[in-house]
Amino acid sequence: MMPDLTNLLPVDRLRALRQIYFLRLAVVSLVLCAGIIVVHGVLLMPSYLYLDSQVEERTTALSGIEAQLEQSEEKEVSARIASLTADATYLARLADLPKASTAVSAITELPRPGIQLTGFSFAPLEGGATMNVSGVATTREALRAYERVLSEQTYITSATLPISAYAKDSNITFTITLTGPFLP
């Protein structure tokens, strides 16, 4: 064959042939692209299904964690409310109990010639309190007078001094146990 072939077709037929050629080329390209898109879509389907199942699984796990968190938060809130209720009950009960500062100031304001107070211990109880007053008395008479003054107070129901406190004549160390409401 010869390299320069002569085409004997008329020019308008030649143009129509070229148009048909490019039209076929475009149709084949479109069909090829559509086929590639379909093949890729089919090949992507397992990945899509896997990701969809992962999303569904994580959503289920997240809802389970949220429910568990809500339950734990409810438990924490319930425990905190119970603790606050117990604290409020305790504080309300403290309002009815005698206070150590009131009791100590009431005891120290009493006349006590010949008595030096060295220590106090206070235990509030329901409906009253117990207080131990320690000190040193110069004489038995001063100690006896102080015990009498304590017994005469309306906010003290009993003042107990052990008999052994009277064993010495002077510089007597003593501890008097007082009970009562201590609300002067």
CATH assignment of 100-180, given 3.30.230.10, 3.40.50.800, 3.30.1360.100, 3.30.413.10? 3.30.1360.100
pLDDT of the chain, 184 residues: tens digit per residue: 456 767 778 889 989 999 999 999 999 999 999 999 999 999 999 999 999 999 999 999 989 888 888 888 777 878 888 888 888 887 777 766 778 888 888 888 888 898 999 999 988 877 778 999 999 999 989 999 999 999 899 888 888 888 888 788 888 999 999 998 877 6
Cut 0.85: pTM above it = no
* Integer Cα distance of 182 and 132 in angstroms: 13
Q: Please provide the distance, in angstroms rounded to a whole number, between the alpha carbons at the two ends of the chain.
A: 137
| Contact residues for 130 (Cβ-Cβ < 8 A; gap 6+) | 122, 123, 177, 178, 179
pLDDT at residue 117, as a whole number: 92
**Domain limits, the chain:** 10-96, 100-180
- Identify the CA nearest to 165 among candidates 156, 157, 174: 174
Sheet strands side by side (includes 158-160): 115-125, 128-139, 170-180, 158-160
Asked if residues 143 and 166 have their Cβ atoms less than 8 Å apart, the reply is yes
Q: Please report the pLDDT score of residue 38 as a whole number.
A: 95
